[in-house]
Amino acid sequence: MRAGGQGVMRPIVRFTAFSRSAWLNSLRITRSLFIQTEPTPNEDSLIFRPGKPVIQGSATVEFTSAQQAARKSKLAASLFDIEGVKSVLFGSDFISVNKRSDALWIHLKPAIFAAIMDQYTIHASEPIIKEA
């Protein structure tokens, strides 16, 4: 500390200069994935296509409860954590989410996009379906 006027001690503060863009880049977590949505005949269901494989083969895997999802799939469990999600279906290249009739897509879609994005970026090394 350096002495200021009238015997008051003032702290010495040193700042390291960064360019604005370098500082912003240091804070940025890059997550890039284009997820397409498709309507279905059922207005309480939407299909999300991440543009990457979801599960192998032509079979589908359906989750109808959070407990079932928690045992088999981190992504399905994350989707059930979203208030209003009723069921989840995985296909080879799609994720179908069925909502409760009182839930609104405008509230659900951002959280669903985030869960799918997390699976393909942050948790990319983990399989979508856990092995038995």
pLDDT digits (tens, 9 = 90+) for 66-77: 999 999 999 999
pTM of the predicted model as reported, rounded to 2 decimal places: 0.75
CA atoms of 9 and 18, how far apart (whole Å): 28
Backbone angles phi, psi at 2, to 5 degrees: -115, 140
Q: 10 or 129: whose pLDDT is higher?
A: 129
CA atoms of 94 and 8, how far apart (whole Å): 67
Check residue 45 and give its pLDDT: 98
Check residue 63 and give its pLDDT: 98
pLDDT at 102 over 60: yes
Q: How confident is the model at residue 17 (pLDDT cuts 50, 70, 90)?
A: low
CA atoms of 121 and 65, how far apart (whole Å): 25
Backbone angles phi, psi at 91, to 5 degrees: -120, -175
Place of tokens 């799939």: 73
Distances (CA, A) of 89 to 20, 67, 81, 102, 126: 44, 15, 15, 20, 18
Check residue 30 and give its pLDDT: 54
User: Residues 42, 89: contact at Cβ < 8 Å?
Assistant: no
Provide the strand spans (E) within 61-102: 61-63, 85-90, 95-99
User: Residues 54, 90: contact at Cβ < 8 Å?
Assistant: yes
Token pair belonging to 45: 């269901």
